Chain A
Amino acid sequence: MGSRGSHAARIPDGDSIRRETGFSQASLLRLYHRFRALDRNKKGYLSRMDLQQIGALAVNPLGERIIDSFFPDGNLRVDFPGFVRVLAHFRPVDDEDPGMRDPKEPEPLNSRMNKLRFAFQLYDLDRDGKISRHEMLQVLRLMVGVQVTEEQLESIADRTVQEADEDGDGAVSFLEFAKSLEKMDIEQKMSIRILK
């Protein structure tokens, strides 16, 4: 893959990506190498197939959805900035004082809210901003073994929606979702150490 000599220069738009996602130079370079490694035919972008070749994703119950999350809005291709943008959600949260951040700047991609939004979109396939009972059921079905009967799954799905639903519309909106997880340490759960 060539020498590791010249770094940022070889990554197109390296600087702007870095600013947007907050990755360090070294991490960005590694991600670039990984992008290139995944891009088998050297097309310059990744297609679904490239991601599906990651063997371990095939046995991940959410594998397909994870892959889909790389292709927002029905695109067929994801280029390097898009790739990095998704992974930026999983960057460990910076320890800086939130008060120091310039409020006019958009929220960093790896903030708690954005992480939650990313997780939310795994549930909400039709992108209507709510997790319906049906969508919850589908997710449950993906994640649970075959021994659980359909009725049990349905009642679990019902219960899940019911627990989180506050305004009684039978679906979980993003805010309700965030609220139901307020006690959880999302920043730690959805951070990958090596992406620092």
Chain B
Amino acid sequence: MSDISDWAIPVPLLFLLEFSPPKISSILLSNYVSPSNPPTTCSISTSHIKILPANRPAVASKPTCFHLYHRLPGLMPESCLLIIVGALVGAIIFGTDHKSPPVMDSSIYFLYLLPPIVLEGGYFMPTRPFFENIGSILWWAGLGALINAFGIGLSLYLICQIKAFGLSDVNLLQNLLFGSLISAVDPVAVLAVFEEAHVNEPLYMMIFGEALLNDGISVVLYNILIAFTKMHKFEDIEPVDILAGCARFIIVGVGGVFFGVIFGFISAFITRFTQNISAIEPLIVFMFSYLSYLAAETLYLSGILAITACAVTMKKYVEENVSQTSYTTIKYFMKMLSSVSETLIFIFMGVSTIGKNHEWNWAFICFTLVFCQIWRAISVFALFYVSNQFRTFPFSIKDQCIIFYSGVRGAGSFSLAFLLPLSLFPRKKMFVTATLVVIYFTVFIQGITIGPLVRYLDVKKTNKKESINEELHIRLMDHLKAGIEDVCGQWSHYQVRDKFKKFDHRYLRKILIRKNQPKSSIVSLYKKLEMKQAIEMVETGILSSTAFSVPQQAQRIHGTKRLSPEDVESMRDILTHNMYQVRQRTLSYNKYNLRPQTSEKQAKEILIRRQNTLRESMRKGHSLPWGKPAGTKNIRYLSFPYGHPQPARRDPRAADFTGNDSSDSELPSIMFKAHSRTGTLQERRLTHEIIPMKSLPSGGKPCHVRYPRNTSQEEHVGPGRREALRPKPLFHAVDEEFESGEESEEESSASGSRWSAEPRPSRQHHRSHSPLLQRK
């Protein structure tokens, strides 16, 4: 272990790096976009601004600052920036002639730096698309890595045989080893770059899956080959050894995954019981993941694959079990750890770039670059050609080109190169230099040009400005299409998935998920946020009644007004900027930011408005008995016999609510049930199957199925109120696709007496947990 003094320079610089551009942009952006930030980023942002003024010239003019940085992640992958900063650090260290720059040795890397990165990758992986495409992903990632490794290794060996290059002392094994480490790609770095080009889901998953599995496979291969090299020093390698190597490869891989899954289940099981010690939950999660890594490594299995499998398994159950704050903590902490690791690795990379330990050999380096590209192309096109035969939705050539071009190397290869034992590799410096060159080349050149390339390939047919009509209609159709896609649902092609789901429901969830879990730890947060947002919206007068008075106006036929082009332009701008975004089915991954804030806000707005619309329409008098078509809106209203406003009773509750923020429990249930009256309840019961109940407050759906459950929420309910429906147990009846995030009627309470429209508009609203949509 190096001395503490060795860290004197790098550590402060590490802090600088932590607040490097991509993070600044996301932090600043998130600060500006939405005030409701998780506390961690808030505190970081205030402190970092003080540290950085010297380095960030544009801090004074924040708008340009984050506008610039906002575009930056779209221009180049984050690793570009990290590398640049790392090189700067290296230059500083080199320039100050620091005696012994921090050294990364094998134990630090494999024990401390690598696991967090892999854990984060596994945890944030979207599971459904992954498993849908798992065949292709395994085929591509596994075989691709092997083909690349051996291809590059063999070709380089052939080059080395040529006497003219002075490389003849590099033998076959060393070349193979070099091939295996150089084929470790990190394409996730480029994902952010072409996010906007609407990469389709399977393509996205290919890249993600490759990144995930690639590290593991390279390391396994690396270890096997290192073992061979050690062996080779003393004896010759026989064919049986090679077979043993292959067998070892498989065992190591599969064994690692197996271990990971077991640990995942164990930790999920433990979190079932941690209700009262929720502060330790994050620790449990991290501990067990790390434990899986260590356990697998101890048994010479692949720790990386173990920790990945652990994260994937654990995620689903842990998310449901842990409390909301633990959940947030886990996510942010994981991101933080992996960022730190990656940054450190890039520092090391920068430090060793600017240093004296290079050996430049033109032939080797150039051919390495060339072969990397060639073999990647070969593997992409060959493997996808084969897998396309078996896929229902084959990958187009365009997709394959994108995959080929996204073969950006990253920190993984550098680390493996750096850790080559010098005793076995007398020409280690050459390898390191070559690796660095490849990394720099791919990251900078490929990384920066891939964005434009993808956009070019994705050519939009019309670049001309569309008329307002067209814009509106286009957007409408996009929404319509997204909606119908949702109705169609996801079609998995494998019964395996259905079977797994059934198995999961019947057995696994019973064991691993807490009892009486109202699924509402997530739901209640949503409700809280809803309430807050609703109050804000009302306070700013947005949802004022004028918004709804228009329907009453008679239709006026306007004379045609002459509108100047600027007016039309401005209208078009208003439309473009303010129309709701279509829900993206394609995934978007941002390594440094956890959730796109805007779609959350948008979803909330939509839901709140819809609810208000319903309430308004209820208010206007609905006396539609069931079975008759509604008037203009096709809304069915329950016949509401008395139409009594109950504003007075609402208000004390409103006070209750706002004060009662701390209770995590079903605020929503308050909602409605409170107003339900036995009379209507009975009526409802009769026709429950036809008229959906408004489920606003969460109880909705359940309410027609089972009747009021009594609850402890009596305390929230004023005296003499109807029982509140407990949402809890009912949720188990709900399919996983549907998680009702109820909307708290709080907002309605905030709007005071508008409440008269009672709770039962016939429509049932299932709020999908919009923040949760992104959580997947």
Contact = CB atoms under 8 A, between A and B. Distances in A.
Q: Which of A61, A86, A159, A164 has the most CB of B within 10 A?
A: A61
A142 to B, nearest CB: 8
Interface in A152-191: 152, 155-156, 158-160, 162-164, 170, 180-181, 183-186, 189-190
A138 B609 CA distance: 13
B128 interface: no
Interface stretch (A10-18, A65-73, A106-114): A65-73
B764 A49 contact: yes
Interface in B760-776: 763-770, 773
Contacts of A25: none
B633 A125 contact: yes
Interface in A61-112: 61-64, 66, 68, 70-71, 73-74, 76, 86-87, 90
Interface in B277-309: none
Given A49-B764, A68-B634, A159 B468 contact: yes
Contacts of A30: 491
B483 A66 contact: yes
A8 interface: no
Interface in B388-436: 393
Contacts of A86: 484
Contact of B563 (A48, A71, A159): A159
A145 B608 CA distance: 12
B49 interface: no
B578 A148 contact: yes
Interface string B326-367: 000000000000000000000000000000000000000000
B551 A134 contact: yes
Contact of B763 (A48, A61, A155, A192): A48
B233 interface: no
Contacts of A40: 735
Interface stretch (B71-79, B83-91, B552-560, B641-649): B552-560
B628 interface: yes
Contact of B580 (A143, A180, A186, A192): A143
Given A137-B550, A163-B467, A145 B583 contact: no
Nearest to A163: B469
Interface residues of B, number: 86
A55 B737 contact: yes
Contact of A55 (B481, B690, B766): B766
A189 B475 CA distance: 10
Given A60-B482, A146-B609, A164 B469 contact: yes
Contacts of B480: 62, 66, 119, 122, 190
A119 B483 CA distance: 13
B491 A59 contact: no
Q: Which of A47, A71, A144, A181 has the most CB of B within 10 A?
A: A144
A156 to B, nearest CB: 5
A43 B634 CA distance: 22
Interface in B555-569: 555-558, 560-561, 563, 567-568
Given A137-B550, A160-B472, A147 B766 contact: no
Given A119-B477, A159-B563, A59 B607 contact: yes
A143 B579 contact: yes
A133 B556 CA distance: 8
Contacts of A74: 628-630, 634
Interface string A108-138: 0000000000010011011000001110011
B632 interface: yes
A155 B571 contact: yes
A152 B579 CA distance: 13
A19 interface: no
Contacts of B567: 155
Contacts of B689: 41, 43, 47
B706 interface: no
A38 to B, nearest CB: 8
Contact of A60 (B553, B583, B636): B583
Provide the main secondary structure of the chain A interface. helix
Nearest to A145: B578
Given A34-B489, A144-B579, A193 B607 contact: no
Contacts of A63: 483, 610
A145 B580 contact: yes
* Residue in B393, B491, B701 whose Cβ sees the most chain A Cβ within 10 Å: B491
Given A47-B689, A145-B579, A62 B468 contact: no
Contacts, number: 224
Contact of B632 (A48, A62, A125): A125
Contacts of B99: none
Interface in B440-472: 461-462, 467-470, 472
A148 B690 CA distance: 37
A27 B162 CA distance: 58
Contacts of A48: 636, 692, 763-764
Contact of A189 (B477, B632, B692): B477
B541 to A, nearest CB: 10
B739 A143 contact: no
Given A60-B479, A150-B546, A156 B634 contact: no
B701 to A, nearest CB: 7
Nearest to A120: B473
B766 A58 contact: yes
B474 A189 contact: yes
Contacts of B765: 52, 58
A181 B488 contact: no
B714 interface: no
Contacts of B578: 144-145, 147-148
Given A60-B479, A74-B628, A156 B692 contact: no
A90 B469 CA distance: 22
Contacts of B719: none
A194 interface: yes
Given A76-B690, A145-B602, A66 B476 contact: no
B766 A52 contact: yes
Given A66-B484, A143-B580, A156 B558 contact: no
B580 A61 contact: yes
B692 to A, nearest CB: 3
Chain B CB within 10 A, most for which of A4, A43, A47: A47
B489 A61 contact: no
A34 B478 CA distance: 22
B770 A181 contact: no
Contacts of B472: 139-140, 143, 156, 160
Contacts of B575: 144, 156
A59 B583 contact: yes
Contacts of B769: 55
B511 interface: no
Contacts of A1: 498
A181 B561 CA distance: 22
A9 interface: no
B547 interface: yes
30 contacts: A38-B487, A47-B690, A49-B692, A49-B701, A53-B701, A53-B735, A59-B606, A59-B768, A60-B583, A61-B606, A62-B480, A66-B487, A90-B484, A119-B476, A125-B633, A144-B578, A144-B580, A146-B537, A146-B605, A150-B550, A155-B567, A155-B571, A156-B571, A163-B467, A163-B469, A181-B470, A189-B474, A189-B478, A192-B484, A192-B485
A-B pairs, 10 with minimum CB distance: A74-B629, A55-B768, A49-B692, A170-B557, A59-B603, A66-B483, A56-B486, A60-B483, A145-B578, A62-B479
